[in-house]
Amino acid sequence: MGYIGHDVTIGRYLTPEAIRLGLTGLFAGSAAGLAWRLAGRTRWGAAPFVLAVLAAARLAGRSDWPASDGMTAAGLLVTLLAAVGAVRLFADPALGRQWVAAGALVSAVGVWAAVPETGPALLAGGGLTGLAAASLLARDRWAPTAGLGVAAVVGWAALSGAAGRPWAAVGGLLCTGLAPWFALRPLLPTFSRSRSPGPWLLGGHTLLVILAARWIGVVPHAGWVRVAVVAAVGLAVAAATRPLA
């Protein structure tokens, strides 16, 4: 299985294989969204997100799974925190679905930019795009448990795409952005209650994804100091946001 790596110029990222994987994910996500709508489901939980990406991987003939090692175990912990935080974000009634959908897509793009093997990120990103488009067109809502599905597929893309490179795995997992730090939100003080939740959270999320992808993921020896800086920024944004539902 060949790599779609980051040692080439931007123009060469749009290879036939990359386009095929992205479109496969888009098709699987759109089909999963349509199936959920035809089944009468107007609130989507974790299932359509996980099933869409599994179907996309099956259609594309991919079998990308993380290796069983210490980094994978640590990555599962980060993914669990991201899942808890994503559920809190998705549950906020003041945060529109367009903002959480945009944040999920930003995370997928961040993983693509962070890891050497971008195939899983293309499948996940395409799947999330198809699901987001289907839910917006159908005017369906993402239930709080949808955060579990988003965190799972982003975590899978990061760990699988890291291809045994520890700092690529760390950077890719931290592309979950604000989600892991909002898992700790109940333990933090509140410095501000006046933020507009959508633009403020998406901006902070995007900043964290950029730092994780380009300051940690692609640096062979990034170091824990950089991880600590990203964590401090994430905790600061969480603390500067009003308590969520």
Q: What is the rounded average pLDDT of the residues 157-172? A: 89
What is the distance between the alpha carbons of residues 233 and 206, in angstroms, rounded to a whole number?
A: 12
Percent of the chain with pLDDT over 90: 36
Domain borders along the chain are: 11-239
pLDDT (0 to 100) of residue 195: 59
Over the chain, what is the mean pLDDT?
84
Q: Quick one: pLDDT at residue 3?
A: 44
pLDDT tier for residue 36 given thresholds of 50, 70 and 90: confident
pTM of the model: 0.85
Task: For residue 29, give the nearest of 10, 53, 8, 9 by alpha carbon.
Answer: 53
Cα 135 versus chain centre, distance: 17
Q: Which residues of 134-143 are buried (b: 16+ CB within 10 A; e: fewer)?
A: bbeebebebb
Q: Kindly tell me if the per-residue pLDDT of 7 is higher than 70.
A: no
C-alpha–C-alpha distance, residues 128 and 186, integer Å: 28
Task: Please state, in angstroms and rounded to a whole number, the distance separating the CA atoms of residues 205 and 239.
Answer: 13
pLDDT of residue 23: 92
Distance CA 50, CA 69 (A): 23
Q: How many helices (H) and strands (E) does the chain have?
A: 10, 2
3-state class of 221 per DSSP?
coil
Among the residue ranges 57-66, 107-116, 161-170, the one predicted with the least confidence is 57-66
Average pLDDT over residues 16-33: 90
Q: What is the pLDDT of residue 191?
A: 63
Higher pLDDT, 7 or 188: 188
